[in-house]
Amino acid sequence: MLYPEDPGNLNRVKDRAEHQFFKKFGESMPPGAWNHPGTKQGIYMMGPEAEYLEGRFAASGEPADIRERLKRALDRWESLRQEKGYANKPIPAKPWSPPPGVEGELILRVNLRDLPRGDGDESGKRRHELAATGMWRDFVKWAWNENWFAAPKAMAFVPAGEGEEPVDPAIIRAMAREVLVDNVRGQTQPWRDEEVLEATLTMKRLSDRRIEYKGRVSMKAGQRSYEATIYGQGRWNGKAFEELDLVVLGMRRGRGSFNQRENDLGPAPMGVTLSLRRQ
């Protein structure tokens, strides 16, 4: 997180280079363009030493406004480039690392989608061609979202014998709480532990390398709920997973705080996939 809002996390990142870079940029912005204290979401254009080129807190996706900001940023960049003798250099390669807070031996990429509700229904499309409003909520055109989940030990998903065995219940409950949520169109809070009514996953060897997974989850908090089945397969080479894919299919109901479901309370089908991140 470049600039956390709460004092504890702000103190945690205060010496990190990326925070200091972003802070330096923010302090050079015109009054009113940098929201402090508070969230820092917005559109920002900056030079290689955090120089201010353009930007605005909570900037909308209004095309005309962004176009003008880009023009001003490019004009300022030309002057800055000549003043400081900046020259283009290749962006240095850096090994991939998971997002902050995602730590464990097994890192899974999580994708969420609405699913068709019947013949001819287009709810499962990745993008809906809705009329543009010029407001920040235009992002609801995208019926898709992404998250990450980490398991502490990869061996938790490897059966010891030939028969059916449970995957560690603590890991599956954590998965249900953290990422089996309806944030297809926006943000929503994770489930509390007491709201996870069921979270089970079994594993069984299909061959020396191939493993099959089957399970079920049920979460409920007032009018908000998600009930689904899980199916997956993985390929374990004796030392690490070469493949691991879980598919979660079920019905979601209700709405969360910021997930843009006030006009679409369901029940409606929603799918979630968890896949091993491949280098």
What one-character-per-residue DSSP string does 1-43 give? --S-SSHHHHHHHTT-HHHHHHHHHHHTSPTTTS--SS---EE
| Tens place of pLDDT per residue across the chain (279 aa) | 788 888 888 888 889 999 999 999 999 998 888 888 888 888 899 999 999 999 988 776 678 888 999 999 999 999 999 999 998 778 888 888 888 788 888 999 999 988 888 777 766 665 555 555 555 556 666 667 788 999 999 999 999 999 999 999 999 999 999 999 988 877 888 999 999 999 999 999 999 899 999 999 999 999 999 999 999 999 999 999 999 999 999 999 998 887 778 777 889 999 999 999 765
Number of neighbouring beta carbons within 10 Å of residue 122: 11
Identify any residues that bridge with 144 across adjacent strands, giving them in sequence order: 113
Candidates 153, 166, 143; CA nearest to 241 is: 153
CA distance 23 to 38: 13
Phi then psi for 147, rounded to 5 degrees? -150, -175
CA dist list (Å): 91 to 23, 48, 63, 94, 121: 22, 11, 28, 9, 44
Query: How many CA atoms within 13 Å lie on the side-chain side of 175?
Result: 32
% of the chain exceeding 70 in pLDDT = 90
CA distance 47 to 52: 7
The amino acid sitting at 235 is: R
Number of neighbouring beta carbons within 10 Å of residue 270: 24
- pTM over 0.75, yes/no: no
CA dist list (Å): 262 to 74, 185, 198, 200, 253: 40, 11, 26, 30, 11
Query: 245, 110 in Cβ contact below 8 A?
Result: no
CA distance 123 to 121: 6
CA distance 192 to 239: 34
Grouping H, G, I as helix, E, B as strand and the rest as coil, residue 72 is: helix
Identify any residues that bridge with 58 across adjacent strands, giving them in sequence order: none
189-211, pLDDT tens digit by residue? 899 999 999 999 999 999 989 99
pLDDT for the residue numbered 247: 97
pLDDT for the residue numbered 132: 57
- For the chain, report the end-to-end CA distance as a whole number of angstroms: 23
pLDDT for the residue numbered 265: 81
User: What tokens were used for 61?
Assistant: 């996706």
CA distance 242 to 149: 17
pLDDT for the residue numbered 192: 94
pLDDT for the residue numbered 133: 56
